[in-house]
Amino acid sequence: MITQNENSLKGKHLLTLADWSTEDIQQILNYAIQLKKEKQPKQLLAGKTLGMIFEKSSTRTRVSFEVGMLQLGGHALHLSSRDIQMGRGESIADTAKVLSRYLDGIMIRTFQHEIVEQLAEHAEIPVINGLTDDYHPCQVLADLMTILEYKNTFSGQKLAYVGDGNNMAHSLMIGSAKVGLNCTIITPKNYEPKKEIVLKAKEIAQKTGAEIVVTHELKEGIRDADAVYTDVWASMGWEDEANERVSAFQEYQVNEEMLELVHPDYIFMHCLPAHRGEEVTAEVIDGPNSVVFDEAENRLHVQKALMASVM
């Protein structure tokens, strides 16, 4: 178990993995693997309370944080936009200052990334980004943990992400760059990740030796991949573009024909929820190489390690 003297993350916000060092990320991954092996929950956060602000609904984020707090001996409060005054015009700064007097940590799942940044700027307690339109760091910590479990290393491994250049693509690039994992993002034209985030990931990768590639070329992009990742074509907030996106993405479906180009021992990953028959076929997501439910379970272990470290 990590001791207080060994923990360098106490009081730290998690807004994006770009703000954390490689050592910080490795500490969380090692701690999560340790907690998973131990199985018996320890009262590491007894008497502590986490406020969970949800402006976007969720299955895995809510359940993993809430169960994680329970297993660590603490308590989690679910706060929808209808439950707090921030949804009725109270400033983010005032909300942060008030919640800091009541809570020991805040997890927020929202739209604009600036909301999380403002909350963290004015909070006196750790703020964890549960998802924004630009980043999903908690999911990627679980993804990295899953790759480590199945491949035992990041060095020399290739992660190929196929689909929309969304918050998942952004955080996968940043997280991969931090740990030295090669990452290729494969998107249709006009659906690329944000240029400034690609540049940030490539800058980080120069320090770790990772290769970050963004391409429209599906066959070359996915060739020799060790892990293949996809996400829904129309993320939350983009549902009105669903029909347009089906047309743009149909050649980027992850299927058995595509996977003939990857390594035979590849793992298939998806952050869930999945739309079988759209971004991935049922044969792949329910097949022997799929690790999506291990990946989903690891949200719990990573979140416990994260909360125990920062709170």
As annotated, the binding site for carbamoyl phosphate includes: 58-61, 85, 109, 136-139, 271-272, 299
Integer CA distances (angstroms), 112 to 34, 55, 250, in order? 34, 10, 28
Kind of pairing between the strands at 212-215 and 127-131: unpaired
The catalytic residue among 13, 27, 109, 301 is 109
Residues tagged in the binding site annotation: 58-61, 85, 109, 136-139, 167, 231, 235-236, 271-272, 299
Residue stretches of the annotated binding site for L-ornithine: 167, 231, 235-236
Residue 129: enclosing H or E segment and its boundaries? strand 127-131
Which two three-digit tokens encode residue 300? 């719990």
Which residues are 76's β-sheet partners?
50
Give burial (CB, 10 Å; 0-12/13-18/19+) of 294: middle
**Six token digits for residue 47:** 């008497």
207 phi, psi to nearest 5 deg: -85, -25
The answer to whether the bond into 188 is cis (omega within 30° of 0) is no
109 is catalytic: yes
Residue tagged active-site, from 139, 157, 253, 303:
139
Annotated catalytic residue: which of 231, 245, 253, 270? 231
Query: Is 271 annotated as catalytic?
Result: yes
Catalytic residue among 13, 113, 136, 270: 136
139 assigned to active site: yes
The DSSP secondary structure of 148-167, one letter per residue, reads HHHHS-STT-EEEEES--SH
Query: Residue 231 catalytic?
Result: yes
Helix (H) / strand (E) element for 121: namely helix 113-122
Considering the candidates 143, 271, 301, 303, report the single residue annotated as catalytic.
Answer: 271
Helices 60-71 and 292-310: crossing angle, nearest 10°?
50
Active site residues: 109, 136, 139, 231, 271, 299
